[in-house]
Structure 1
Amino acid sequence: MSASSTPAGIRVEPRHIRFDVQQELRTLWHGNSLFRTAFFNALSLQFPDGEEQFIHSVRLYRDRIEDPKLKQEVRGFIGQEALHGREHRAYNEGLKARGYDIDAIDARFQKHTRWVKKLPPSRQLAGTCGAEHYTAVLANAILGHPEWMAGATPQMRALWRWHAIEETEHKSVAFDVYRQCVGDERLRKVVFLFVTYNFFKFTFLNTCSILKSEGKLWSPRVWLEGLNFLWGRPGILRRCLPDFLAYFRTGFHPWDQDNRDLLQRNLQELDAVYNPSERSARKSA
């Protein structure tokens, strides 16, 4: 029996797509909304160093994987995450042009990732599984609710959809490595509590840093809009909450949420625009 649980038809392979969003990052690219723009920018600020840590934690166990399918998917996972880091690093550099102190924000998060790298490998991998669960759930929400990105510029919508597609494709890779090489259910759940705290902590701090740079940190109007966006209507975090909490279920697996049809629809639309030759190759494979 294969150690990989990635469903048939899902290929974990990197797409070499570049997104030129430098000019758009000088604007309130998400519907001219300061909070919505700041929230997504705050997420992006965590990705380069976070994804570097994900790669590191999986590499610690790569030599212990014998299943050929899972070994191939680990290579794909590393490739996808490396390209995500590249694009979001360029994205974050673009935010400097708007006057944000990105170096200070990076230093704050890098202090955390240096601490994580000192943890035992099993805890590092458990942390990656937990963080990948958050990205997978948010990715599913972005793909399944395109109205949540309504008003965003086309190029930014494409960047976030590309990231969401690949997070969905590889959502079980680190989990399968953990299940094969560690397999401690209690550790998985306990570490997820710490991941949850840090995910919301750094997203909140990054959002505050951005709003402070805009002179709107104490604006009731901005925060009311933000609370509505996250917890009211559309309430993107409120709507995701049941899926976030599913991680605590004994026997949980990322593909319990089988969103292959949603993935394929979005993948066809992305490939039609960015890589028609690759799309043709997939059909003939």
Structure 2
Amino acid sequence: MTVSYTPEDVSVQPRHMHFDVSQDLKTWWHGNDAFRTAFFNALSLQFPDGEQQFINAVRQYRDQVDDPKLKEEIRGFIGQEGLHSREHRHYNEALKARGYKIDALDARFHKHMQWVRSLPRDRQLAGTCAAEHYTAVMANAILRNREWMADATPQMQQLWRWHAIEETEHKSVAFDVYRHCVGDERLRRIVFLFVTYHFFKYTLINTCSLLKTDGKLWSLRTWLGGLNFLWGWPGVMRRCLPDFLAYLRKDFHPWQQDNRDLLSENLAELEVPQASITTAG
């Protein structure tokens, strides 16, 4: 019985990358644009707690997986997400050092994640699958549409490319664990709707808070440019919307979007230090 549907030529292995973005985060690092910078920074604020929860949700089912391939991918998934959490924690500390008031944002999101951890484990895993779908779709979009990050500083381009590559590599690990160990399609789709609400809610709250510190919260020009970036042209959210909604299909699987070509292309440009790839337990 096939349990893992990750393609054989895709390796889920953590890369021990480190990015010192403290100087970049003292600026509007995305093309000197306040909104674009705040949007990506807002996403980063959710990653440390969110990705730790992804790890916890998958770990709760690891002992029920007998397939050697999926067990190995779970180890890689845990390693990759752990490193993402670490790097974005450093990223967020640099935001705080710049003067952004993120303590209240962290506390609000931490309280939400405590509630998530109190849910039955099947709902936690379903939530992880849904959140992983959002990160995978956005990762695909970042890798495919180079122009979206073309105005970012080189170091930030590398960080977001690294994150996007690894999110793509492990995009079906939690999903395959869920399908093998839980398999409730109705629950999967219902939880996706709740995750959708919270994802957009916290991204908006965080973006507004960061813009307020920058003195741009009530800038019409900033918001018009931002809405154009997300929903007009290039329309980051607009162009991702069909892929987001594909999750609601009964026959959905993350690798129906086969983007191995993007992995190969972007891996060739990722500056990976020697001996940086290891298997995590």
Same fold at TM > 0.5? yes
Aligned counterpart, 1:222 = 222
Tell me by how many angstroms 1:58 deviates.
0.4
Inter-partner Cα distance in structure 1 for 2:119 and 2:102: 26
Runs of 5+ consecutive residues of structure 2 not aligned to the other structure: none
Question: Aligned residues: percent identity?
Answer: 72
Q: What are the equivalent positions in structure 2 for 1:245-260 lying under 5 Å apart?
A: 245-260=245-260
Q: What are the equivalent positions in structure 2 for 1:125-144 lying under 5 Å apart?
A: 125-144=125-144
Kindly report the root-mean-square deviation, in angstroms, between the aligned alpha carbons of the 2 structures: 1.2
Tell me by how many angstroms 1:18 deviates.
0.3
**Paired residues, number:** 278
CA contact (8 A) 2:16 2:276 kept: no
Aligned counterpart, 2:90 = 90
Q: Is the partner of 1:7 in helix, strand or coil? A: coil
Q: What are the equivalent positions in structure 2 for 1:74-85 lying under 5 Å apart?
A: 74-85=74-85
CA contact (8 A) 1:2 1:69 kept: no
Tell me by how many angstroms 1:214 deviates.
1.1
CA contact (8 A) 2:77 2:173 kept: yes
The reply on whether 1:171 has 2:176 as its aligned counterpart is: no
Q: What are the equivalent positions in structure 2 for 1:1-285 lying under 5 Å apart?
A: 1-270=1-270, 273-275=271-273
Corresponding letter in the other structure for 1:180 = H
Higher relative contact order (CA 8 A, sep 6+): 2
Inter-partner Cα distance in structure 1 for 2:2 and 2:62: 16
Inter-partner Cα distance in structure 2 for 1:175 and 1:264: 23
Inter-partner Cα distance in structure 2 for 1:9 and 1:278: 19
TM-score normalized by the length of structure 1: 0.96
Tell me by how many angstroms 1:276 deviates.
5.5
CA contact (8 A) 1:100 1:213 kept: yes
Corresponding letter in the other structure for 2:5 = S
Corresponding letter in the other structure for 2:193 = L
TM-score normalized by the length of structure 2: 0.97
Runs of 5+ consecutive residues of structure 1 not aligned to the other structure: none
Corresponding letter in the other structure for 2:222 = V
